[in-house]
Amino acid sequence: MVAGALLALGELDAAHTIQLVGRASVIEATLAELLAGEFATLDGARGRVQVVDAPDVIEMSDRASLVLRRPNSSMSLGLRMQAEGRSDAFVSAGNTGAQMAASKALLDLHPGLTRPAISTIFPTAANPVVVLDSGANVDCSAQELVQFARLGAVYAEDLLGRPDPSVGLLSIGEEAEKGNAVVKEANQLLQDAAGINFHGNVEGRDLARGASDRGPIDVVICDGFVGNVLLKFYEALAPVLITMVADGAGIDRALLAGTFKHLDYNQYGGAPLLGVRGVSIISHGSSTPVAIKNALGVAARAVETEMNTHIGRRLADARPSRPPAA
Tell the smallest beta-carbon distance from residue 212 to its own copies (Å): 11
35 part of the interface to its own copies, by CB under 8 A: no
Q: Which of 243, 309, 316, 317 binds its own copies (CB under 8 A)?
A: 243
User: 130 — alpha (psi -120 to 50), left (phi > 0) or beta?
Assistant: beta
249 part of the interface to its own copies, by CB under 8 A: yes
229 part of the interface to its own copies, by CB under 8 A: yes
Contacts of 207 (CB under 8 A, 6+ apart): 122, 124, 129, 131, 168, 170, 217, 220, 230
**Helix-strand-coil percent breakdown of the chain, rounded to 5?**
50, 15, 35
> Is the CB of 159 or the CB of 183 nearer to its own copies?
183
Applying the rule CB under 8 A, the residues between 138 and 177 that interact with its own copies are 138-139, 170-172
Contact between residue 259 and residue 269 where contact means Cβ atoms under 8 Å apart: no
194 part of the interface to its own copies, by CB under 8 A: no
Q: Which of 256, 290, 303, 318 binds its own copies (CB under 8 A)?
A: 256
Tell the smallest beta-carbon distance from residue 61 to its own copies (Å): 10
234 part of the interface to its own copies, by CB under 8 A: yes
Tell the smallest beta-carbon distance from residue 12 to its own copies (Å): 28
Instruction: Give 219's strand partners.
Output: 130, 167
Q: Of 41, 48, 43, 44, give the one whose Cα is nearest residue 15.
A: 48
CB atoms within 10 A of CB 11: 12
Q: Which amino acid is at 126?
A: A
Q: Which stretch binds its own copies (CB under 8 A): 28-36, 150-158, 240-248, 308-316?
A: 240-248
Contact between residue 96 and residue 119 where contact means Cβ atoms under 8 Å apart: no
Tell the smallest beta-carbon distance from residue 317 to its own copies (Å): 31
Tell the smallest beta-carbon distance from residue 138 to its own copies (Å): 4
Contact between residue 197 and residue 165 where contact means Cβ atoms under 8 Å apart: yes
Q: Which amino acid is at 266?
A: N
186 part of the interface to its own copies, by CB under 8 A: no
Residues that bind its own copies (CB under 8 A): 124-125, 135, 138-139, 170-172, 179-181, 183, 203-209, 222-226, 228-237, 239-241, 243-245, 247-249, 251, 255-256, 258-260, 262-263
